Structure 1
Amino acid sequence: MPLRKRAASSVIDEPRRSRRISSTVKKSNYFKDGDSDDPLTTGVAKKAKGKSTPRGKRREVVEDDISDEYQEEDTADQDEEHDEEEEHEDGGDQDDFATKVTVVKVQSLRPDGGVEYRDDFLHKNTSLFLKDLKAHNEREWLKSNDREFRRAQQDWESFVMSFTSKLSSLDFTIPELPARDVIFRIYRDTRFSKDPTPYKPGNCYVGGGLWHPENDSVYKIRESIDERPRRWRRILNNPDLKKQFLPDASKSSDPEEALKAFAVRNKENAMKARPKGIPADHRDLALLKLRNYVLSKKVPDGVIFGPGSQDKLVEIFTPLVPFVSLLNSIVRPDPNVDGEFDSGDDNE
């Protein structure tokens, strides 16, 4: 029997869709006990076997689904336009760029009490400012007392510049640098601190040495301690040095006590294990573990403030000169300077 030609279907304006999707899709056993989120798949799975949905109805289902999608998109667009209109009417994000003005009442300067400001000592008002800052460690307070802060800062800088020239007379290797290069900032770094106070208002101390030096400098100092132990004992057992910076060791006649006291004062950041290549029974193992080499002491405010303060500080700094010179000769030896520390410091 000859095949008959199928009549041409009417032209459809909608996008062409495969008929195999709705006629042949079956629900997988994987989803047998579960519910499907796809309405087309759910409807096909529930149809009886051997029956098919007429093409007209299939087309209606697809058209309804597509029209629902476009209707949801149109509704979302209308909501966005409505929100934009409300945001435009209310001013939108313009409030984020509004200028905020904070009014700070500026305090007047404290009277000088008839004592003029000089370069060779710190004025009493500078001490009073630091005490007030300690009691009111806040940015708003410092802003309101900015004039007093600037005056105290200028007093401190002039004092540092004047005292640097006296230190240079003790140790010619100390250069005369600008004040900003040798002064700590008053602002604290609070990023990794539990203390939220923004400023450093006090703690007067005197000291010298190497704090957190580079690894190359640490290796050189360890080599010096290992090869020239007598040199370190001679420097650290200076009577004036022990009196000022190692008072506990000054009470003992044993020279090893000075080395023990020095190691205790620099135990922060020290190695827990012995350095590589150093035997466990090395007599200076405590010194070889160190990474800091500093001598310091706190001084009362009366030493810093008032007439004659620089002479008092020179007296404290003088015993530190041989110690600092020893470190300089190890870390940054000067070829133009004779090795004053080499005499009598052979290996032991």
Structure 2
Amino acid sequence: MSVYFTRASFQFLRDLRNNNNRAWFADNKSRYEGVVRQPFLHLIADLQPALAKISTHYVADPRTQGGSMFRIHRDTRYANDKTPYKTWAGARLFHEHHRQQEAPSFYMHFEPADCFVGGGIWHPGAEALKRIRSFLANNPAAWKKATRSRSFTTHFALGGDSLIRDPRGFEVDADLLQDIKRKDFVASQRFADALACSNELKPLLIDRFKRVAPMIDYLCASLDLDF
């Protein structure tokens, strides 16, 4: 089995956190390419066959522009933090129609002492959020099956932001109140940096994508997307 990331990958990210400026990055760009970007693109490409078995409508895209891997450059236009680079590497394995409408994704994230894998939909817009909540109110049993099975709860925790008060216009049983209040519908599981640097990484990611797939499927259904 392949090893994608190494200790050098995480050392680069730590060094970038301590030297987050354009001059330092220019001097170390070849390090970034060699120990972070290229290994990550290879991992993404190698995940596509397994992802296709989970859903033929999802894509692990290893292109350097417009693919699954997030750009390292931060969008600082409206941010108080003006540091130019992300100090982590992340990728979303997206729905084939994600450019036409909002859609849930599978996700993986590599950051020193904060690696995780999961999926869902983060900060959906008002219309998509309303559709998800309506679907949840009308299909509670399927949501519970997707997110409360032992296969799911043993590995994942639901996260993201939630409303303080109950949203208006939705009626659900008491045990679904916390779910209907969610503003994000995401689940994740952390794993150690050492695992990310081992040949166990790819099997772990595939297994977790399979386990979070029922929730992704449910969210797709709420948005009238094929899974």
CA 1:282 to 1:318, structure 2 compared with 1: closer, same or farther past 3 Å? closer
The answer as to whether partners of 2:44 and 2:62 remain within 8 angstroms in 1 is no
Contact 2:117/2:190 (CA < 8 Å) preserved in 1? yes
Which of 41, 64, 72 aligns to 1:157? It is 41
> Conserved in 1, the CA contact under 8 Å of 2:51 and 2:60?
no
Task: Name whichever structure is richer in helix by fraction.
Answer: 1
Q: Which has the higher strand share?
A: 2
Q: Given the superposition, is the C-alpha separation of residues 120 and 332 from structure 1 closer, same or farther in structure 2, using an over 3 Å criterion?
A: farther
Q: Does the 8 Å contact 2:166/2:177 carry over to 1?
A: yes
User: Residue 277 of structure 1: which of 166, 169, 176 is its match?
Assistant: 169
Whose RCO is larger (CA < 8 A, sep 6+)? 2
Written as runs of structure 1 = structure 2, the 5 A alignment for 1:197-346 is 197-202=83-88, 203=111, 204-246=115-157, 262=158, 265-266=159-160, 268=161, 270-278=162-170, 283=174, 284-334=176-226
Tell me if structure 1 keeps the 8 A contact 2:2–2:199. no
CA distance in 1 between partners of 2:79 and 2:225 (Å): 38
**1:141-195 deviations in whole A, cap 9, x for unaligned?**
1111122222232222122111233222233321243433211111223344343
* In structure 2, C-alpha distance between the alignment counterparts of 1:173 and 1:328, rounded to whole Å: 10
- Cα distance change on mapping 1:282 and 1:302 into 2, 3 Å: same
- Aligned to 2:202, what secondary structure does the other structure show? helix
Calculate the TM-score normalised by the size of structure 1.
Answer: 0.51
Q: CA RMSD in A?
A: 2.6
Give the aligned partner of residue 95 of structure 2. Answer: none
Q: How high is the TM-score relative to the length of structure 2?
A: 0.75
Question: Matched residue pairs, number?
Answer: 198
1:318 alignment partner, SS class: helix
5+ long unaligned stretches in structure 2: 89-110
- Tell me how far apart the structure 2 counterparts of residues 278 and 323 of structure 1 sit (CA, whole Å): 20
1-structure distance, mates of 2:131, 2:61: 27
Give the structure 2 partner of residue 134 of structure 1. 17
Asked whether the 8 Å contact 1:206–1:296 carries over to 2, the reply is: yes
- Contact 2:131/2:223, CA 8 A, preserved across alignment: yes
Structure 1 unaligned blocks of 5 or more: 1-117, 247-261, 338-348
d(CA) in 1 for partners of 2:195, 2:208: 10
1:173-212 equivalence runs, <5 A = 173-179=57-63, 180=65, 181-202=67-88, 203=111, 204-212=115-123
Amino acid at match of 1:190: T
Other-structure match for 2:55: 171
Amino acid at match of 1:305: C
Residues 222 and 288, structure 1, Cα contact 8 Å, conserved in 2: yes
CA contact (8 A) 1:120 1:162 kept: no
2:72–2:86 contact (8 Å) kept in structure 1: yes
